[in-house]
């Protein structure tokens, strides 16, 4: 029965894949990435899994050392992306120095604010509008009566981090004369969304000057 159940689940995931392929935001994202020299998803395909929702499915066995995903560095968002933007001068001049987390979060918040005018709109549109991390717990939920102690502690720490960095970010924006931030009063929700986006999607990449792409590979166990 165990093998039969796995086969059925796999079939359901494959059958659900077509519904993901025609998703407008995903189709737009794929087209945008291809226009920026992305060669395609390789062995992986988008799929909807019954238990976990949207994810990636491989249609063939994967071998250790095989490339899973190869993405041009120009499509990776990093602190260098923020420093090259209109916020770059303010970020470099900030004292004490701004963390990479805050720099990328500010850049993301600014690009979301641009809306359709952002060159990164297809990527931004693919992001969740909200998250289920402790930082998104509502104030009424930050009570020991509602949450386990470990989750309550994490939620309070994440809320405090967002608010602390919100004050720093607002001060930085007030001190810059960049036209892109004129009249912008960064909200807590804007920074929270950007902050959690970075936290849930970032990975460490060691820069190599002669490397045009960065690959994520399966490891031997």
Residue 6 confidence (pLDDT): 52
Report yes or no on 96 lying in a domain: yes
CA angle in degrees (0–180, nearest 5) for 189-190-195: 95
Q: What is the pLDDT along the chain (221 residues), one digit of tens a residue?
A: 455 555 455 555 444 444 454 467 888 888 899 998 888 877 888 777 888 777 788 888 988 988 888 888 888 888 889 999 999 999 999 999 999 999 999 999 999 999 999 999 999 998 989 998 999 998 888 877 788 889 899 999 999 999 999 999 999 999 888 888 888 999 999 999 999 999 998 877 665 443 343 333 334 43
Structural domain count of the chain: 2
Residue 99 confidence (pLDDT): 92
Residues 91 and 191 in one domain: yes
Q: What CATH code is carried by the domain that includes residue 128? A: 3.90.1410.10
Residue 208 confidence (pLDDT): 47
Residue 209 confidence (pLDDT): 41
Q: Residues 124-136: pLDDT tens digits?
A: 998 989 998 999 9
Residues 107 and 140 in one domain: yes
Report yes or no on 212 lying in a domain: no
Residues 62 and 85 in one domain: no
Residues 164 and 108 in one domain: yes
This prediction has a pTM of 0.78
Q: Which domain holds residue 21?
A: 2-67
Report yes or no on 33 lying in a domain: yes
């Amino acid at each position: 029965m165990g093998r039969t159940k796995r086969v059925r689940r796999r079939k359901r995931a494959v059958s659900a894949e077509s519904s993901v392929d025609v998703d407008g935001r995903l189709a737009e994202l794929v087209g945008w990435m291809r226009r920026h020299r992305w060669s395609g998803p390789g062995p992986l395909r988008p799929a909807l899994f019954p238990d976990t929702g949207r994810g990636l499915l491989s249609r063939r066995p994967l071998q250790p050392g095989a490339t899973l995903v190869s993405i041009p560095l120009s499509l990776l968002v990093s602190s260098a992306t923020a420093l090259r933007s209109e916020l770059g001068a303010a970020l470099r001049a900030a004292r004490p120095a701004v963390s990479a987390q805050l720099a990328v979060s500010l850049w993301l918040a600014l690009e979301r604010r641009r809306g359709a005018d952002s060159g990164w709109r297809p990527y931004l549109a693919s992001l969740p509008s909200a998250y289920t991390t402790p930082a998104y717990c509502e104030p009424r939920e930050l009570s020991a009566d509602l949450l386990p102690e470990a989750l309550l502690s994490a939620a309070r720490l994440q809320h405090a981090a967002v608010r602390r960095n919100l004050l720093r970010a607002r001060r930085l924006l007030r001190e810059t004369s960049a036209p892109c931030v004129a009249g912008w009063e960064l909200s807590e929700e804007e920074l929270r969304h950007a902050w959690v986006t970075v936290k849930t999607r970032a990975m460490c990449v060691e820069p190599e000057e002669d490397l045009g792409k960065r690959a994520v590979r399966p490891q031997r166990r």
